[in-house]
Amino acid sequence: MSDARHFDVPNYEEIRDTALRLLPANFRNPLIGQGLACEVCSAPIDGLMTRCDPCLRQRNNWTGQLADIVIPLSYAGSKNPQARQDLWLYKNSDHPEVSRLALNRLSYLIWYALVHHGPCLEAILGPVEVVTSVPSGKAGKRPDGHPLEQLTFYPTQPTRVHLVRTRDAVERVVHPDSIEVAGSLAVNGKHVLVIDDTWTTGASTQAAAVALRRAGAARVSVVVIGRWLNTSWGPTEQFLHARPADELWSPEVCPVTRGTCPTPS
């Protein structure tokens, strides 16, 4: 994508150049395609499927209530251990400097994606009007705020609302009743962007999307930093082995389409 379409942000060239030095060796672009990767979350799939099993079940159970689009920024797994480590260390390390460095790398990834490809998202769903992040899966676990809030960013500075976990999430189950939208009037009729750090089955992220729909959001888009890969599953292992071992993250891949950038509306 050419720089002509990026959002205007302070210190653009300096941050862009740092991102382009830092990101290729640490992250890996997700894919999409029939028989290759899930059209929703980019998980490896087997055969002629277009969606992985969790995404297919979620569509069947929550028709019309899930996110309009899911945008994973990188795979996280054994083939790119830095991304996997950063997604854990930024919020769990006992060493502040280690957490800071992990957060820094993740922040460049999300900055580049949204500054360069926010216009791509808006070409499909219209302007982002509200931004929020997925809360911890444990109610009350982080009373001082989740570190993900430091990565919750959008270049046009839309209204920000908070999602509150009122009861513990149920693992692998879309459970919107466990999430409260604080300031629900702000999302009514709006395009809400949800930021999450890790997607495994997508249950927690899609629960946030359903909760926002119930609060009146007209459109919900999701940006997830890392699509976690389970390398013990056969198709995933085959998928990773089929890709070049030295494959690098490329700025030329649009994370919105997992290919070329859409035509501006």
CA 233 from centre of chain: 22
| Mean pLDDT across 147-172 | 92
Confidence band, pLDDT 50/70/90 cuts, at residue 45: confident
Confidence band, pLDDT 50/70/90 cuts, at residue 253: very high
Confidence band, pLDDT 50/70/90 cuts, at residue 34: low
Domain boundaries, the chain: 9-242
Confidence band, pLDDT 50/70/90 cuts, at residue 244: low
What's the whole-number average pLDDT of the chain? 90
CA 99 from centre of chain: 19
- Residues 149/143, Cβ–Cβ less than 8 Å: no
Which element (helix H / strand E) includes 118?
A: helix 96-125
What is the per-residue pLDDT for 245?
62
Q: Which residues contact 74 (CB under 8 A, 6 or more apart)?
A: 27, 28, 29, 30, 80, 83, 109, 225, 226, 227, 249
DSSP string spanning 166-186? -SPPPTTS--GGGEEEETGGG
Choose between 235 and 31: higher pLDDT: 31
Q: Does the pLDDT value for residue 236 go beyond 80?
A: no
Locate tokens 């894919």: which residue? 31
Choose between 68 and 140: higher pLDDT: 68
Tokens of 175: 């459970």
- What percentage of the chain carries pLDDT values higher than 90? 72
Choose between 79 and 262: higher pLDDT: 262
Confidence band, pLDDT 50/70/90 cuts, at residue 1: very low
Per-residue pLDDT tens over the stretch 165-194: 998 888 889 999 999 999 889 999 999 999
| Mean pLDDT across 239-244 | 71
| Alpha carbons 30 and 177: distance in angstroms, whole number | 30
| Alpha carbons 104 and 107: distance in angstroms, whole number | 5
Choose between 168 and 213: higher pLDDT: 213
How many Å is the Cα radius of gyration of the chain?
17
Confidence band, pLDDT 50/70/90 cuts, at residue 139: confident
Tokens of 66: 């899930």
- Residues 129/139, Cβ–Cβ less than 8 Å: no
| Mean pLDDT across 210-221 | 98
| Mean pLDDT across 41-65 | 91
HEC string of 196-213?
EEEECCCHHHHHHHHHHH
pTM as predicted: 0.93
Q: How many CB atoms lie within 10 A of CB 28?
A: 25
Strand 130-133 and strand 191-199: the pairing is: parallel
- Side by side, the strands of the sheet bearing 130-133 are 69-76, 219-228, 191-199, 130-133, 159-160
What is the per-residue pLDDT for 232?
72
Q: Which residues contact 2 (CB under 8 A, 6 or more apart)?
A: none
